[in-house]
Amino acid sequence: MNSSSSPSSLPRLVLASTSVYRRQLLERLGLPFKTSSPQVDETRLPFESPERLAQRLAFAKARDISLSQPDALVIGSDQAASIGMEVFGKPGTIENAVAQLQRMSGQEVLFHTAVALIDGRNGREQCETALTRVRFRPLSEPEIRRYLEREPALDCAGSAKCEGLGIALLDSLSGDDPTALIGLPLIALARMLRAVGVELP
């Protein structure tokens, strides 16, 4: 345990996600937690900004699990990648991933990663969004297909895993939280957990 609080004194912590990436990130904080899969419609609303989309879905996931997990601290998170108002979700198929990376080739893509925390003990809700600017280098179709053969990032918004081989597709990236691009902004989350009484470290 990295926290000075004992496990019995901590409120139950639940991650509203079955994403292996988010689970691995949350494990860094050294807190005991469970995961649960939220049932949320992730369809973008008309004219909804990428940032607002990520925030709404982060809250929706946390609220869905909070209904069945009374007295728990529930974490929800979501990410939207965008060029202007054009939003890129999880590609799902290789051909969709190829099309996404072709669109992003040579472009600056903004990754909006929202994290929400609901305290079931009192209904308090918090949400923060971390912005990461990613510049993709010019990519040829053979480069894109070779990448996806080795690392099919079909469950990642933007079709590339910066924590893996996908870093080779980039010219640069910048942001306030290096964990945000992977899917869970730990700096913001730690701040939110401290605000509800969880001692970190």
Known catalytic residues? Answer: 78
- State whether residue 76 is helix, strand or coil: strand
Q: What angle do CA 190, 14, 7 make, to 5 degrees?
A: 75
Rounded Cα gap, residues 74 and 76, in angstroms: 7
Residue 25: both structure tokens together = 């990130």
Residue 41: both structure tokens together = 């419609």
User: For the chain, how many residues are written?
Assistant: 201
Burial code (b: 16+ CB inside 10 Å, e: under 16) for 155-165 equals: ebbbbbbbbee
